[in-house]
Structure 1
Amino acid sequence: MKMHLTIAVIAATAILLSCHQKQNEKVAMKEIVLDELQSNASSGLVYKDEEVQREREFKEPEQQKPSLPLQKTPSPVPVDWNKQIIKNAALQMRVKALQSATAAIQEAIRSSGGYIASASEIRLSDRLKSEMVIRVPREKFEELLNRLSGYADSVTQKSITSEDVTGEYIDTKARIQVKEKTRDQYFEFLKRAKSIEEVLKVQREITGLQEDIEAAAGRINYIQHQSAFSSIHLLFYQDIPVTTSPNISPGFGMEILNSVKTGWTIIQSLVIMLVSIWPIWLIGTGVWFIFRRRKLKLATQTK
């Protein structure tokens, strides 16, 4: 009887130790996955210190049936009514001196806090032409455009366009905040997962949300940069006077010399033409030789 009791106690102890070891392995596995997800998420966005601390202090939840996170209606997102307007201008003008105008334009761009995105210069038969794409802070756009027009001898073309992207900017920011809240719900659900399959499924959902958040954040940064700097497409040129030589009529002696040259040129052309038809001359000579020989033969027979 004592032997059976001892065996039962040993078996129960072994079972308890095995269950405890499995529970520790499950907790360690979920902590590793949670830390990895938290690390990936923090590389794109910064969480609040309280949330990070709460996620890292993960403990084994109570034994209960896991359930998918409820899709709650997100609370209204605060609207940022800061206008995001992309401005562009095209300016074409004629200047008196291209080099001095280029130096003045470059100085105006530097003093306005802008920069030259691209530039090219070309020389044509009747003009010198330079072309620039200028990026300037939005608040200096009108001022710089007026300064550039002041360097012109005459403005041949000027146009201004603007694109309001405030709606897209606000919509993208709202989508980011909604996806962040959904991602946080999945982090909460990860605490209640009870199997590796559930952990991996939640991990895939969090990874997809994180990719969408990072793509939307990149779009936000692009809109902010485009609206913060306006573009000016500048083309300016300098006319080059075309000089023509005076029409001087040649004298009598020059005309005779030109006539001799013309006659000699004609003779050369005729000689070249006669030489070029040498096959005709060869055939004609052969035909003449045969005809003459036959004629002589007939004359001999007649005598």
Structure 2
Amino acid sequence: MKSIIKISIAAAFISLSVISCAKHETGEASTMEMSKAEMATTDSASVAASQQVEGKKFIKTANIDMEVKNVYDASVAIEKSLVKLGGFVTKSQMKAQTVSERTFNTSDTEATLVRKYQNENTMQVRVPTEFLGDFLNEINQNKLFLNARIINADDVTANIALAKLDAQRQQKNEENINQLKANKDKVELADDNYREANDQKVANINIADQLKYSTVDIYLKEPNVSVAQIPIANTQNYDNQFKSNFGFELKNALVEGFYMIQQIVVFLVSIWPILLIIAGLIYLNKKKFFLNRFSKEQKS
């Protein structure tokens, strides 16, 4: 009897040990699965980029600001991913922001322009909304550092419902207008209603386009400063070739002096009547002076 009890106790102890080990292994497996799920969530795009809610319509936009190793290579990779997903580029403005530049003369005729710059690119793309999350993940592969990522999902369900109600109202207005007598007021009412209907159709087309394609603004920048060495002409020595030449300038001065004398003579000849009048006045003045002087001597 005692041996049976001992055997039962031992069996119970072994069973408890096995259950405990099984629970421990199950807990570790669950922890590993949760870690993998968290990593997948961290590496993937925000749920706002791929969420779908029954009965809801979202216009999705995104704004990405990140630093990449090479702006040109990253831009090409993004464009290839975009084309693969059925999207297109609406704007791409790549430019080099000059940090500093300096010219070093290397010979009498040659020099080198050393320019430090940073490349950057501002892009705006349209991607099918169903692939927005995939596209953002593709962009993420090119980053060195993500400065900012903003994803917006605007609920436009009510706007769409309101557009349908407006279309029904405009249809009803058209029916009511058709029942009016033909006059100037009827024409104006019909024209206003037709214009409003056209505006609503254009708004519906825009909303449909924004629902189908998401707009993504992307700003890429290189964190490091690049250096370019550009061969140029040595302008300093080149300009020195055309500086002052004493013999040439002396010759020009003599020629210009001769021309100046000619101009003075021509000017004096052109005003000979004035000179003649002045000479006559001087002559008369002197003659009067001498007559007065002679008369005073006679009196004395």
Please state which band the TM-score falls in when normalised by the shorter chain: 0.3 to 0.5
TM-score by length of 1: 0.47
- Decide which structure has greater strand share: 2
TM-score by length of 2: 0.47
